C-alpha cells in the first residue's frame, strides 16, 4: 500500500534552476564583481554537478580569471553561494517562480487523502523554505511529515542518503513510498534507496528515463505524453492515477 509521496524540489516542484538559481548566481557574480557569467546553456552543463557550492568549485577549474589559490577559491565560492541564496529568496518572494502545473493539486489530493508527504532534496534548507513559504504559506511545514535538505543529507544525490534519512523519519519502507523526481541523479538516488519513482521531466532534464520507473512524463499538469499512459478522462496526474501506477507495479 502506498503510504508516502516524497518530493524532490529543484526542477520537480518548480523550474528553480532556470528561473531561480541561474539568475541568482549571475546576480551574485555581478554584485561581487566576479568577471564571468553563466549562460542558460552552460548552467545546463554544470547541473551535472550537484550542489551550488560544488558547481561553483567545478566551474572555477576552467575559468581563467578564477583565483589560483585553492583557499581563495573556496572562500569565493562560499561568498557567491551565500549571496546567491539571498538573491534566490528574493526572486521567489517576488512571485516569479511559480510551482509547476499539477504540483499544488497533487499535494492537495494527498492532504485530503491523509497520505503523508516528504521533501527530499540536497539543496539548502533556506531555498526550500523560501519556495514553499511563498507558495504554501507560513504553515507549509505542517504539510510534510519529513523535510530533508542539504543540512541533513550533505552527500548529494545520486547518493541515496537524503532518501534514507526521509524514510527513517517517516518510519516507512522504501517500497511503500513513491518519489517524484525530474533529473537522472534524483532518480538514481531514490532507486538506490529502493523507492519507486515517477519522473516528471523538466526544462533541463527533458529526456530522463528509467526502465524501473513507475511512470515518466512531461508534467503533472497534463495527461498526454506519459508512459505508461494515464487513464483516459482524467485532466491531470492526480492521486488516483499515482495509485493506479503504483498498483500496476505491485
Annotated active-site residue 8? The verdict is yes
- What 8-state DSSP symbol labels residue 201? -
Work out which of 122, 161, 191, 241 binds ligand XBP, going by CB under 6 A: 122
Given a contact cutoff of 8 angstroms between Cβ atoms, the answer to whether 57 and 73 are in contact is: yes
State yes or no: residue 123 binds ligand XBP (CB under 6 A). Answer: yes
State yes or no: residue 15 binds ligand XBP (CB under 6 A). Answer: no
Q: Which of 221, 240, 237 is nearest to 98 (CA)?
A: 221
Given a contact cutoff of 8 angstroms between Cβ atoms, the answer to whether 124 and 9 are in contact is: no
Distance CA 237, CA 217 (A): 10
CA triplet 55, 61, 65: central angle to 5 degrees?
Answer: 105
The nearest distance, CB 218 to ligand XBP, in angstroms, is 18
Cis peptide before 228 (omega within 30 of 0): yes
Work out which of 26, 27, 124, 202 binds ligand XBP, going by CB under 6 A: 124
What is the 3-state composition of the chain as percent helix, strand, coil, each rounded to the nearest 5?
Answer: 45, 10, 40
The nearest distance, CB 120 to ligand XBP, in angstroms, is 7
Stretch that binds ligand XBP, among 6-14, 109-117, 132-140, 225-233 (CB under 6 A): 6-14
Work out which of 23, 27, 46, 51 binds ligand XBP, going by CB under 6 A: 51
State yes or no: residue 21 binds ligand XBP (CB under 6 A). Answer: yes
The nearest distance, CB 240 to ligand XBP, in angstroms, is 27
Stretch that binds ligand XBP, among 34-42, 104-112, 118-126, 140-148 (CB under 6 A): 118-126
State yes or no: residue 158 binds ligand XBP (CB under 6 A). Answer: no
State yes or no: residue 102 binds ligand XBP (CB under 6 A). Answer: no
Annotated active-site residue 19? The verdict is no
Q: Which of 99, 131, 97, 112 is nearest to 238 (CA)?
A: 112
In this complex, which beta carbon is closest to ligand XBP, that of residue 77 or of residue 230? 77
Exposed / middle / buried, residue 206 (Cβ in 10 Å: 0-12, 13-18, 19+): exposed
- Non-local (6+) Cβ contacts of 162 within 8 A are 120, 121, 122, 148, 152, 153, 189
In this complex, which beta carbon is closest to ligand XBP, that of residue 52 or of residue 217? 52
Which residues are tagged catalytic? 8, 10
Binding site for ligand XBP (CB under 6 A): 8-10, 17, 21, 50-52, 81, 121-124, 127, 150, 157, 183, 186
Amino acid at each position: 500500500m502506498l503510504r508516502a509521496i516524497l518530493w524532490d524540489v529543484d526542477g520537480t516542484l518548480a523550474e528553480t534552476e532556470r528561473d531561480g538559481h541561474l539568475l541568482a548566481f549571475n546576480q551574485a557574480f555581478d554584485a561581487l564583481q566576479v568577471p564571468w557569467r553563466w549562460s542558460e546553456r552552460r548552467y545546463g552543463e554544470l547541473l551535472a554537478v550537484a550542489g551550488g557550492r560544488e558547481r561553483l568549485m567545478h566551474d572555477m577549474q576552467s575559468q581563467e580569471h578564477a583565483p589560483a589559490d585553492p583557499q581563495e577559491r573556496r572562500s569565493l565560492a562560499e561568498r557567491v553561494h551565500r549571496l546567491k541564496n539571498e538573491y534566490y529568496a528574493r526572486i521567489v518572494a517576488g512571485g516569479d517562480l511559480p510551482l509547476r502545473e499539477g504540483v499544488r493539486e497533487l499535494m492537495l489530493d494527498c492532504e485530503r487523502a491523509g497520505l503523508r508527504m516528504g521533501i527530499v532534496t540536497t539543496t539548502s534548507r533556506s531555498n526550500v523554505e523560501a519556495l514553499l513559504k511563498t507558495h504554501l504559506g507560513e504553515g507549509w511545514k505542517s504539510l510534510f511529515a519529513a523535510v530533508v535538505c542539504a543540512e541533513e543529507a550533505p552527500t548529494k544525490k545520486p547518493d541515496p542518503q537524503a532518501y534514507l534519512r526521509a524514510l527513517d523519519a517517516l518510519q516507512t519502507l522504501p517500497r511503500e513510498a513513491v518519489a517524484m523526481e525530474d533529473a537522472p541523479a534524483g532518480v538514481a538516488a531514490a532507486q538506490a534507496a529502493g523507492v519507486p519513482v515517477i519522473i516528471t521531466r523538466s526544462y533541463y532534464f527533458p529526456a530522463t528515463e528509467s526502465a524501473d520507473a513507475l511512470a515518466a512524463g512531461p508534467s503533472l499538469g497534463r495527461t498526454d505524453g506519459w508512459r505508461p499512459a494515464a487513464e483516459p478522462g482524467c485532466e491531470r496526474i492526480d492521486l488516483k492515477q499515482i495509485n493506479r501506477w503504483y498498483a500496476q507495479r505491485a
